[in-house]
A and B are shown apart, each in its own frame.
Chain A
Amino acid sequence: MSGGVLIGLILGTPLIGAVLISLCGRWPNVRETVTLTTAISLFVLVSQMIGPIAAGETLRLSLAEPIPGLEIAFQLEPLGMVFAMLASGLWIVTSVYAIGYMRSNNEPYQTSFFAFFAIAICGAMGVAMAGNLLTLFIFYEVLTLSTWPLVTHNRNEAAKQGGRVYLGILLATSIGLLLPAIIWTYSITGTLDFTPGGILELDSISPLAATLLLTMFVLGVGKAAVMPMHRWLPAAMVAPTPVSALLHAVAVVKAGVFTITKVVIYIFGLDFLATLPLEKFLVYLAGFTVIAASLVALRQVEIKRMLAYSTVSQLSYIVLAALVLAPFAEIGAAIHIVAHAFGKITLFFCAGAIYIAAKKTRVDQLHGIAWRMPFTMVAFTIGAVSMIGVPPTAGFVSKWYIVAGAFQVDNFFVLAVLAISTGLNAAYFLPIVFRAFFQAETVPPAKDHGEAPWPMAAALTLTAALTILFFFFNGPVVDFEKGILEVAS
């Protein structure tokens, strides 16, 4: 199969899935089968690309040329490969989980839920495989718009409010900052292709303007949730948990940091960025976000909101790592995308499972719950440990690389941020674990409950297992990423 066809299929599969899902709305079983089939075939298709990419082939597909000299084109590289694998693989798990969640909660509008979910995945795939900034931007917006119906799924006042903040911030940043940044770049360089080593040069743009441009990119990618553009993420927590789990812990936010990483590596280029005088400012901003978001998370009582702020903080790790501009840190950024995905999706799955089984949403209600839902809480613990960055979990690996990267360039600010945030992470995750395992139930639950339905329990167990497995088997991913850096620098 030629590369172009493969890319086309990867983009088309979720779309066809979405159409079929909306057509099968009347028969839930058929619909769910379609969802799962689509998810699995997508994963298989994406994994077909590993071979060629590892062999250094270029897969390219160009669809149209909406603006003279600018194509809607796709070109896969290792970083995108990882992202695509992650999103498509976790889609399967999340689908299983979502089926359990939606059914046992008797949610309305399930058909549109699954359909928009598929479209959102298509958006994520497009972002992952984009061959230039324009294409990336297009699918970035597809992702934004297709997740709005998911965020407002409940169609009540709270959902409406959340949806407003969500769409407002994401569209405002992308149209208001990202788009002009892209057009500016285009008008300077005449191209938007992702080119190893970057397309911006010192003689075409003054350092000050370049810094401004970089700031526009970093803030314009609202999905990366760098403060002060992070507000949408807690707001999006009104969505059903599967949405929070896959999209707001994996696909959407990762699309954000992925975009920033891509821009840093392929548009600016590490060497060029290193010459910029004010680039540190963004490092500080990201570092500030890490700490501040952790502090806010500390004070949350709702599990999902706490997780959301934790996500904000973890995302800025990645941004921070990307902006450290050391090869190791870039690898760390890429790996943290994976590591955080596994950990955070586990945590969200657990939160959803607790909600479905026990109807509990607050941290202070979890006393002794581990004895009723052992799988769930063990998985939660694994996820939490990974967030803190303790071996043998995925989170440790990425932190390792980021720290190593910071040492490469002697960036002690980053080291300090990492140290402090690790402490803060521990401070808000461990009490929950402690409470769940070692404290007695204060209030008897409304109904006697055990684990959540099996699809959910299975899904969360699987992701927890992945979190641990990644610690041991991260070699391929690391090798993969080293490849790009060799090309890049």
Chain B
Amino acid sequence: MRNNGILRIVARFLIPLILLFALYIQFHGEYSPGGGFQAGVVFAAGWILFVLIYGLEAGLKVIPQRAMVVVMACGALLYAFIGLLGVLLGGHFLDFAPLLPSAPKGAQQAGIILVEFGVGMTVATVVMLIFTMFAGRKSQIHLIDGIPDSEPVTYPEMNQDNSANQSTDTAAETRD
């Protein structure tokens, strides 16, 4: 697939459009259907399209897996932070009114936009992460399948696991 020229060219047009559309859904959610969740999914879809065409490695170069985990947590934390801000400013949790005491409507809008952004962040990265995990899993399995069955298979990871295990045991031992 990767070498298919047509796909690449179409993708080059499509992907930015998709991402743009995602941003539109994200920030226009108060006026038309859409919001953080849908935007996140669409954004992730754009990235997935990218991966399907350019390969997982390229995709991970753009957004590394670790970053996904971090952003995914940050999205949730952003939401929580906005909520907490309400508390810190003397209101209830997720109470947006105290954010801008002078303009209650504006405060609500700001709150909604911000939490929606948090939702979008989390959703987009989670979807990407899940996809990465599934896709990455496949390549790992193929790798193992390549080993002839007759050979006694030793898994390097397994051994690592094992030694890690033992080291914890000893650690626990000494602590006792």
Direct A–B contact in complex, judged by CB atoms less than 8 Å apart: no
